Structure formats: C-alpha cells, structure tokens
Chain A
Amino acid sequence: MSTTIAFARLEFQIVYRNLWVAISVALMTLFAVVLTVAGSSPVGELGVDRLTVSVASLTTLSIYLVPLIALLLAFDAIAGELDRGLLALNLTYPVSRASYLTGKFIAHLLTLMIALGVGYGAAGILSALLGTVPSESWKSLALLYASAVVLGAAFLGLGYVVSCLVRQPAAAAGLVIGLWLVLVVLYDIALLGSLVADSGGVFTSHVFPWLLVLNPADAFRLVNLAGGEAALAASGISTALHSLPVYMPLVSLLVWPAAALLGAWCLFRRIEP
C-alpha cells in the first residue's frame, strides 16, 4: 500500500511539473466558462436555466476532451518508463507490479478529477452568479462530473493497454491518437451513416442501440442526456433506444474502466522490462 502511494506521489509530481495538470485545468475551465456565458444567448427567454444548457454543452465537449486528456496522460506510463530504463529500476525494488500500475492510475485519475472539478465547478459558480439555478440542474452537474471521471478512467485504462502493447513511446503516442479518432469521432460518423443507409430497418431498431451503448463515449452521452431536460434535444436518438433496458448505458459506462484496467493489468504482468 505504501509503495502504491509512493508511485502515485512521484507520478503526480511529474505530471504537475510537466504542466499537464495546469494544461488540463486551463482547457476544461476555458471551455466551461465560454459555454456557460455564450450558451445562454440561444436560450433567451425559453425558461430553461443557464446551467442546464451549460451541462448539455459540457457533455458534448467532454466526450471529446476527457478521452483525449486521459489517453495523453496514460500512453507513456509503461512504454515510456520501459524505454527510459526506469520501469526495470523501479521493479528491482521490493514492490509489486500491481502497486506500480495502481499508483500511476491514482495519479492520473487525480489529475483528471482536479481538471474536471475546476472546469465544471467554474460553470456551476458562473451560472449561479448570473441567475438562479434549480436543484435539478445541480444534480445533473454532479452526474456529469461523476460520469466524466468514470469515462476518464476507462480511457486511462485503454491508454495503458496501448502503452503495454507497443514498447516505443512514440508508437504509443500515435496509437492513442488513432484510438481517440476511432472511438470518439469515426465511430459516431459510421453509426450515423449506417442509420441513413438503413432508413428505419432492423439495424435501426435492434442493432444500432446496442452499438451505440457499447461505445464508452456514447454511453457517457446517453447517461447524461437521459436525466436532464436536454434529453428532448436528442429525441431522434431516444426513440431508437426504447428497445434497450434503461440501465444499459450506465452498465456500459461502468464496465469499460473495469475491463480496460483488467486488460492493461494482464498485459503489464507479462512485460519484461
């Protein structure tokens, strides 16, 4: 346990010095503030409070940003340390491999939690200052935070998997960018394309909902849209989702980090530093 903390502490020091903490906090805060302030103009007098709109925009933003930050934090964890000879040196100490990987994960997750906390917190405070915020909106902001942390954990795990698979840090960096493009951008485009081509057939009613919920980023979107009033905005998608149990997006979102971290652990165990 104490060695896990030692690894977490060192990794956090490194991430902090490398300005990763500062960069991710700045990114999240910048977007959160812009979306909260600018997001109000289209709403006008519709009667929806500022934070609700902000949460909907932040959800969409987080789908892109949280996986990216997580993958960039994680890709170097094994491949980089292996390349620099530090993994070998660390493992000659009386430590378990589990404590090494867990320590890294704790430090990276903490970085994400700080960045998301400051960013979303800024959106909440700003909304409260500019108008009244109903308790429902605070709840959806809390749900957004918790689910974004889980999404981040999933992509940290995927980053470690990539880092274990390739021994060169440069290759790992390239591969995580590719993974991000596929899972976060191309996957949705492909699904949309299939929907159009299928035009309401069996694919739309039975295959598409499962494909949607199987992707961690989409599961995150569904978890957050289901709760708030913003679900209306996604009505096109929600009709297709009736064939799914309502808890499926949440299950998918929770299974992803567990599966990714388990996969990373299995690969990491077999690495010869």
Chain B
Amino acid sequence: MTVLNIEEAVKIRDHRETVCHVNFTVRAGEQVALLGHNGAGKTTLLRLILGLTPLDGGSISILGAAPGSIEAQRAIAFLPENVEFPRTLSARELLRHFARLKGEAGSKSDDLLERVGLAGDADRRLGTFSKGMRQRLALAQALIGEPRLSLLDEPTSGLDPIAQAEFYEIIRELANAGGAVLLSSHALTEMEAKADRIAILKDGKLVANDQLDALRRKAGLPVCIRVSAKAQNADHLADTLGGHRINGRSVELQCPVGDKMEVLASVNAVRHLVDDIDILPPRLDDLYRHYSQREDAIS
C-alpha cells in the first residue's frame, strides 16, 4: 500500500527551484533513505510533506490526504534535525504534552521513554540533557501513536555508534510494524544494509531511487580486489596481475562486476605468491558520488 505519493513536486525559493519535479513513493513497511549534500533539498522535501511550506507545483498525498491536513498529520510523525526543547521542563512532561496533541493518554508516553533508554532521566530538566539524550527524546516523540509515516531528518546526528545502532533498531521496528519510514541523512555508510531503498537528491532533483543492489548494478562501478603478497613478492605479483601497488605488500585491481571471477581465477593461478585477498564491492559513498555527480535526473 502506498503511504506517501509525490508527483511532480516543485518548490521555488528565491526564484530557484529547490525541489524540482520530484516523483517519489513510499509504501507501508518500507524504509527509504533520502541522501544528498547540504542544500540538496532534503529538508525542503520533508517540509513539503509535512505541510509546513506550501507546494508551488505538483501534488503530495499522505494516505490520500493533503499535506498539513489533520488527517495527514494524524498519520505522520516527524523527527526534526534541529529543535531546542524548553529547558525547564522534564522529558516526561514534554512527552506527555505531545501525546495529548495526538489524542493519546499521557501515561502511554512513559513506556516510550523506556524504549529510547531515558526512563532513568524522565524527571530531569531538559536543560541538563546532552545532545544524545535530546535526540533520544526527539525520537520518543516521533514514536507516539504508531505513526503510519515517519519522517526522520538526520536522526542519528550527534550520536555515538552504539546509540546509532539502537536508533536504527527502533526505526526498523517501526517499519516492521507496517509503518513507512523516510529518513534523510548524509552519513552514507550508516545507511548501508539498513534502508530498503536509497533515493539521492541533487540540486532539488531526484538522481537515483532504487534498491542498493540495483543502484550498484546500474552505476557499473568497478569491484576492487586487493591482493597482499607474501614477503618480497609484491613486484612480481604486480607484474603478473597488472593493477597498481598501494603499499609495500599489496596490489589493487579494479574490474567490472562481471569480470570478478576471471580476475579471481588469475589470482588463483599465482596463489603461491599470495598471502591474503580482499574483495571490496562499491560502497555507498562511491555510489553516492557517482549519482550525485551525474547531470541527468531520473523522472
């Protein structure tokens, strides 16, 4: 079921299209990563979906409702990139406020504090919270009322790796429960294996929108095979295999994905010279660079 449907969305700011003719859907249970440089239009696109800023063209529907309508807001949860909570309130008080806005019982929000690991700090003043704790609270408010569509703007900024992993686990649970999740990020490698689909925005245009594997295939980026030689054999190995030396012991070979087995066979032929071998598929960073440098947009 399509939860979010964007057709030909256009937003003009200062006579420039900050979002231009974007077509995009997110289905229930799907977790989509929205990637792009600073100023690529990620936050503007989220603000359009939230109805915080009006569209200048095209249409957006959230379960058939217009952005900003009460029906749409009821389905949506939002985790903003920057928000400063009232310093004199406690986490419990603020979360209860947000629960009331969603028509939920205030006491339900106490469970959410537990879920994001803030149960022990529920009654401390927010002015004493660290960046990571504030981010957890922001996530907790986005979990209120089983949202059908979660929009998370840079949800893991300022978090340590362990907290990030916990964050993604909770977000995964949201998707597993049938919610649609759209999260923006420029922490690329973080997204790998976490998002069902990757969308890349560049200058307001959608330049990629597919599963990670498919994007890899389409980009045709080479696989990198790193062969480390046994002592004193690096020169000999480089001569035999081609490729280039990257340090005193290793040789790096680049080849198209389809030629991988042939290259491995040729490495196998000289295995008496080889100490170890690493195969590095193109990473999200490489893909991102590839797609965000291309000029053409997909429709």
Contact = CB atoms under 8 A, between A and B. Distances in A.
Contact of A91 (B52, B84, B85, B94): B52
A167 interface: no
Contacts, number: 67
A98 to B, nearest CB: 12
B102 A93 contact: yes
Interface in A81-104: 84-86, 88-96
B65 to A, nearest CB: 11
B80 interface: yes
Interface string B104-121: 000000000000000000
Interface stretch (B70-78, B239-247, B265-273, B283-291): B70-78
A85 B80 contact: yes
B93 A94 contact: no
B97 interface: yes
Interface stretch (A5-13, A61-69, A154-162): A5-13
Contacts of B70: 94, 96
Given A86-B84, A92-B73, A92-B76, A273 B101 contact: no
Contacts of B80: 85, 88-89
Interface string B89-103: 100011001101111
A45 interface: no
A273 B85 CA distance: 16
Most buried by A among B52, B86, B93, B141: B86
B189 interface: no
B299 interface: no
B50 interface: yes
A10 B97 contact: yes
Contacts of B52: 88, 91-92, 272-273
A88 B85 CA distance: 12
A85 B84 CA distance: 6
B102 A86 contact: no
A14 B94 CA distance: 10
A3 B73 contact: no
A2 B186 CA distance: 38
Contacts of B141: 89
B123 to A, nearest CB: 13
B84 A2 contact: no
A17 B88 contact: yes
A91 B103 CA distance: 14
B100 A92 contact: no
Nearest to A3: B101
B5 to A, nearest CB: 19
A92 B53 CA distance: 11
Contacts of A10: 86, 89, 93-94, 97
Nearest to A85: B83
Contacts of B101: 3, 6, 90, 93-95
Interface residues of B, number: 27
B89 A86 contact: no
Classify chain A: how many residues form its interface, as a range.
Answer: 20 to 34
A51 to B, nearest CB: 38
Interface in B24-51: 47, 50-51
Contacts of A93: 73, 98, 101-102
A10 B80 CA distance: 20
A84 B160 CA distance: 24
Contacts of A94: 70, 73-74, 101-103
Nearest to B74: A94
B131 to A, nearest CB: 14
Contacts of A273: 52
A5 B96 CA distance: 13
A95 B102 CA distance: 8
Nearest to A100: B101
Nearest to B151: A92
A14 B89 contact: yes
B176 interface: no
B89 A13 contact: yes
A90 B50 CA distance: 11
A18 interface: yes
A272 B48 CA distance: 11
Contacts of A88: 47, 50, 52, 80, 83
A151 B86 CA distance: 28
5 contacts: A10-B97, A17-B89, A91-B52, A92-B78, A93-B73
Instruction: List the 7 shortest-distance A-B pairs measured between CB atoms, nearest first.
Output: A17-B88, A84-B84, A85-B83, A6-B100, A93-B101, A94-B73, A92-B78
Given A18-B88, A88-B47, 5 more contacts: A3-B101, A88-B52, A92-B50, A93-B73, A93-B101
